[in-house]
């Protein structure tokens, strides 16, 4: 190997190691036998993981987060697919403006969106409700579905639908039986990004959660105010491992790197 390539590889390894160092610290701290975070861990134990899995508060927060992420992903897939199809296959006035508005949640900081939605929801009476939280998460996850679906649609031949209509199918049947199956990789990738984004979100959720709709990331964020113990590191490690495995399996089955 050439010296330049060796140096480039060493540089990349150092950058990746630096980025992964906080993750390693959190995972190591979750195995400590002490009642406070310490790295390297003082002994090895799994009791903090057991405490998390036995805690009704954590389990309730996990259930809320999973339900919220599933509902937001479903809504984002429905709205994102319809929006992408209209932007690519139909003549829509102000197409560029609509596309910019749909993608705007990726540009604005999450805390700005959270504060704006809190003021808007307060006027409508939706503040602190689960329905309002679902709508907010749909807003921030739709861009991921639109982006991947647009990439898939641009790679499809529009004449396939026309051929199906020529053979007797209605326009809806042509979309359902021809186009939609071909969009599955893009929809799967967008749905995965939307689910992870919703499940891990803090900046928007922290302004909109109510007493009975506290998500897991928000609970972790508020738990740190009262002192950090290894149980926080344990639940964080579980989230890291679950997210990582999901991404690896999705990359293997879908190859969603094509949409990033």
Render pLDDT for 85-139 as a digit per residue (tens, 0 to 9).
Answer: 888 887 778 788 888 888 888 888 888 898 999 988 888 888 888 888 999 999 9
CATH for 55-259 (3.40.50.720, 1.10.3720.10, 3.40.640.10, 1.10.10.10): 1.10.3720.10
Average pLDDT, the chain: 83
pLDDT score of 1: 60
Position 170 pLDDT exceeds 70: yes
Residues 6+ apart with CB under 8 A from 258: 151, 185, 189
**pTM of structure:** 0.82
pLDDT score of 256: 57
Mean pLDDT of 143-172: 82
The DSSP output letter for 178 is I
Give the tokens for residue 141.
Answer: 């996850």
Position 260 pLDDT exceeds 60: no
Which has the higher per-residue pLDDT, 178 or 258? 178
pLDDT score of 94: 79
The DSSP output letter for 155 is T
Residues 6+ apart with CB under 8 A from 149: 80, 81, 84, 85, 183, 186, 187, 190
pLDDT score of 227: 66
Nearest to 28 by CA among 39, 36, 19, 20: 39
Question: CA 192, CA 243: separation in Å to the nearest integer?
Answer: 10
DSSP assignment string, 50-110: HHHHH-HHHHHHHHHHHHHHHHHHHHHHHHHHHHHHHHHHS--TTHHHHHHHHHGGGTS-H
Interhelix angle 47-54/230-253, nearest 10 degrees: 80
Position 243 pLDDT exceeds 70: yes
């Amino acid at each position: 190997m050439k010296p330049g390539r060796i140096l480039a590889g060493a540089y990349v390894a150092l950058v990746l190691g630096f980025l992964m160092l906080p993750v390693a610290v959190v995972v190591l701290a979750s195995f400590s036998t002490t009642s406070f975070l310490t790295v390297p861990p003082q002994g090895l134990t799994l009791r903090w993981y057991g405490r998390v899995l036995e805690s009704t508060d954590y389990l309730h927060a996990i259930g809320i987060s999973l339900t919220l992420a599933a509902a937001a992903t479903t809504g984002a897939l429905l709205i994102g697919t319809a929006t992408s199809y209209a932007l690519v296959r139909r003549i829509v006035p102000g197409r560029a403006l609509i596309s910019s508005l749909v993608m705007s949640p990726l540009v604005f900081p999450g805390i700005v969106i959270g504060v704006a939605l809190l003021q808007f929801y307060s006027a409508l009476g939706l503040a602190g409700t689960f329905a309002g939280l679902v709508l907010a998460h749909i807003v921030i996850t739709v861009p991921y579905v639109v982006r991947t679906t647009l990439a898939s649609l641009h790679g499809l031949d529009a004449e396939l639908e026309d051929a199906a209509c020529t053979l007797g199918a209605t326009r809806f049947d042509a979309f359902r039986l021809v186009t939609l199956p071909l969009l599955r990789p893009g929809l799967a990738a967008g749905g995965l990004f939307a689910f992870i984004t919703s499940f891990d979100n803090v900046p928007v959720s922290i302004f909109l959660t109510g007493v009975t709709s506290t998500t897991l990331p928000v609970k972790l964020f508020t738990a740190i105010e009262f002192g950090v113990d290894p149980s926080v590191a344990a639940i964080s490690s579980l989230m890291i491992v679950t997210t990582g495995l999901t991404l690896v399996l999705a990359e293997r089955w879908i190859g969603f790197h094509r949409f990033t």
